[in-house]
């Protein structure tokens, strides 16, 4: 049974975090101490200096050679299971979508382990469990945030292709062979007049890209994709059209390079017994080649973003120092130690203060509506911990470590996934509600988990 002294220890660790957050909230909402520009400066200081140094300080203290492999396995398996279920739903269900798969993965698997998890779990289960939480932080920063960036960039690339090329087909001007010099038209395969089912090569002059809400999608370099490629018959076509069309159902089949001109038809089909033409084989080859080029572009963008992210440096440097110090038995020089801790000690409070500023600047705490908020809270505080419990029991976790794994999965929503969602404009209202409302209800929910697991 949980004693009152244990509950008081938990409140001692968590309540100061809420006091800091509420002070920031009142200083903007009621007292008008900070302007929005000043809040932005404080948030930038937290993102660039305070939180990365806090991460480095925690990570550099662990012993990587004595990590709990069962906990790491349970955490990894639970996330992979959720990822598989969500992407299967997005692929095979009519109501599924890539956008919601990414958002639900963030909600169910990426808690606020660094800011809330470490002080909360230490007070609940002892100082020796801090290492478990730091291991979860390392995995989040190095593995899962990288995966999230990849998914966001993949989605951004799909949006860019759709807007620039699929929409370009529908809005482009259709010309005959008399206007072959105009690159906004269509050029036929043959020289004669054809029927309505005639296969055509498509070259489009793309209109200005509509605002898709994504930042950084314009940074893709598609110059190589826009080249006009001559085929074996001397005519020309743009290979990106075929690759983009292959991405969208109902536009074109993957083995062809153009659509029927007749309204209501979506793809050209081979007649029974007719062999696949060399042109169709060629377009298939172009499609696979372009897909690999797009994948390389996505990986390149993800790499550039990780290189510019100070949290990535903090995680890698902290892990590198932990490996070296534990292997050779060395300690940080005192000058280095003091330089890091002077800001890292303020990192936790500044992170909570920044979150309070963010809450105060929002027009509503529940920005996405009550229904989506309820769904998000169920995913965050019920579905995620349930899958983590099954995975933990499956790999053999028992006792206190099992309780730690379940409670850390029931922590409030992490702030970094919301930053990604806002940057790529993918359900930022739902993620902001999960962060804000989740912080408000997280204390009673985690204490409830603590009590139930202790019975």
CA angle 178, 182, 186 (to 5 degrees): 70
Residues 244 and 193 grouped into a single domain: yes
Whether the CB-CB separation of 361 and 36 falls below 8 Å is answered with yes
Provide the 3-class DSSP secondary structure of residue 344.
Answer: helix
Closest by Cα among 365, 364, 246 to 294: 246
**DSSP conformation letters of 203-241:** ---PPPPP--S-SSGGG---GGGG--EE-TTS-EE-HHH
What pLDDT is recorded for position 239? 38
Whether the CB-CB separation of 146 and 379 falls below 8 Å is answered with no
- CA gap 454, 394 in Å, rounded: 20
Closest by Cα among 203, 213, 177 to 192: 177
Which parts of 39-189 are beta strand (E)?
A: 186-188
Residues 180 and 98 grouped into a single domain: no
Residues 297 and 169 grouped into a single domain: yes
Residues 76 and 95 grouped into a single domain: yes
Residues 367 and 408 grouped into a single domain: yes
Residues 73 and 149 grouped into a single domain: yes
Which of the listed residues 301, 317, 347 is the one where a domain comes to its end? 301
What pLDDT is recorded for position 206? 40
Residues 111 and 215 grouped into a single domain: no
Residues 423 and 379 grouped into a single domain: yes
Quick: pLDDT tens for 126-166: 877 888 888 888 888 888 988 888 888 888 877 777 776 65
Kindly provide the b/e burial profile for residues 301-327, where b requires at least 16 CB atoms within 10 angstroms of the residue's own CB. Answer: bbeebbeebebbebbbebbebbeebee
Which of the listed residues 270, 301, 332 is the one where a domain comes to its end? 301
Mean pLDDT of the chain: 74
Handedness of CA 416, 422, 424, 425 (dihedral sign): positive
- CA gap 186, 230 in Å, rounded: 14
Query: Domain range for residue 234?
Result: 160-301
Q: What is the CATH number of the domain that holds 318?
A: 1.20.1530
Provide the 3-class DSSP secondary structure of residue 380.
Answer: helix
Residues 190 and 294 grouped into a single domain: yes
Residues 293 and 190 grouped into a single domain: yes
Which of the listed residues 269, 286, 301 is the one where a domain comes to its end? 301
Closest by Cα among 77, 126, 156, 99 to 409: 77
- Longest CA pairwise span in the chain (Å): 90
Residues 84 and 175 grouped into a single domain: no
Domain count, the chain: 2
CA distances from 403 to 24, 107, 445, 446 (A): 33, 20, 14, 11
CA angle 166, 169, 171 (to 5 degrees): 110
Residues 286 and 314 grouped into a single domain: no
pLDDT tens by residue, the chain, 455 residues = 566 777 777 778 778 888 998 999 999 999 999 998 998 888 888 888 888 888 888 888 888 888 889 999 999 999 999 999 999 999 998 888 989 999 999 999 999 888 788 888 888 888 778 888 888 888 888 889 888 888 888 888 777 777 766 555 555 544 444 444 444 443 433 444 444 333 444 444 444 433 333 333 333 333 333 334 444 434 443 433 334 344 444 443 333 333 444 444 444 444 444 455 555 555 455 455 557 777 777 778 778 877 887 888 888 898 899 999 999 988 888 898 888 888 888 888 888 888 788 888 877 878 788 889 999 999 999 999 999 999 999 999 988 899 999 999 999 888 888 878 877 888 988 888 888 888 888 888 988 898 888 76
Whether the CB-CB separation of 237 and 189 falls below 8 Å is answered with no
Quick: pLDDT tens for 78-107: 999 999 999 999 999 888 898 999 999 999
Query: Whole-model pTM?
Result: 0.67
Quick: pLDDT tens for 211-242: 333 333 333 333 333 334 444 434 443 433 33
């Amino acid at each position: 049974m949980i004693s009152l002294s244990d509950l008081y220890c938990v409140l001692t660790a968590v309540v100061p975090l809420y006091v800091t957050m509420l002070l920031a909230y009142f200083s903007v909402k009621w007292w008008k101490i900070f302007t929005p520009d000043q809040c932005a400066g404080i948030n930038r200081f937290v993102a660039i200096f305070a939180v990365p140094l806090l991460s480095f300080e925690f990570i550099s203290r662990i012993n990587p050679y004595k990590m709990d492999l069962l906990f790491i396995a349970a955490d990894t398996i639970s996330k992979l299971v959720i990822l598989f279920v969500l992407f299967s739903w997005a692929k095979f269900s009519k109501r599924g979508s890539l956008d919601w798969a990414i958002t639900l993965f963030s909600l169910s698997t990426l808690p606020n382990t660094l800011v809330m998890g470490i002080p909360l779990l230490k007070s609940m289960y002892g100082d020796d469990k801090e290492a478990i939480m730091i291991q979860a932080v390392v995995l989040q920063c190095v593995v899962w945030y990288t995966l999230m960036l990849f998914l966001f960039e993949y989605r951004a690339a799909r949006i860019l292709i759709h807007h620039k090329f699929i929409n370009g087909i529908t809005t482009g001007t259709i010309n005959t062979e008399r206007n072959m010099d105009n690159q906004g038209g269509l050029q036929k395969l043959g020289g004669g007049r054809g029927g309505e089912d005639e296969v055509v090569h498509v070259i489009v002059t793309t209109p200005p890209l509509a605002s898709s809400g994504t930042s950084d999608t314009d940074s893709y370099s598609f110059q190589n994709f826009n080249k006009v490629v001559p085929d074996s018959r001397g005519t020309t076509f743009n290979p990106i059209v075929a690759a983009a069309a292959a991405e969208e159902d109902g536009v074109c089949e993957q083995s062809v390079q153009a659509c029927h001109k007749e309204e209501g038809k979506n793809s050209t089909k081979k007649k029974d017994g007719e062999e696949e033409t060399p042109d169709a084989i060629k377009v298939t080859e172009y499609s696979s080649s372009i897909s690999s080029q797009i994948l390389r572009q996505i990986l390149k963008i993800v790499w550039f973003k990780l290189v510019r992210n100070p949290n990535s440096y903090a995680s890698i440097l902290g892990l590198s120092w932990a490996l070296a110090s534990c292997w050779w038995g060395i300690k940080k020089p005192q000058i280095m130690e003091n330089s890091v801790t002077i800001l890292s000690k303020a990192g936790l409070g500044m992170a909570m203060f920044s979150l309070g500023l963010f809450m105060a600047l929002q027009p509503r705490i529940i920005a996405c509506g009550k229904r989506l908020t309820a769904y998000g809270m169920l995913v965050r505080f019920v579905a995620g911990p349930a899958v983590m419990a099954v995975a933990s029991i499956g790999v053999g976790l028992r006792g206190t470590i099992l309780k730690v794994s379940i409670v850390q999965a029931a922590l409030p929503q992490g702030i970094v996934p919301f930053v990604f969602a806002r940057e790529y404009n993918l359900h930022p209202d739902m993620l902001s509600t999960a962060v804000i409302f989740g912080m408000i209800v997280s204390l009673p929910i985690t204490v409830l988990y603590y009590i139930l697991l202790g019975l």
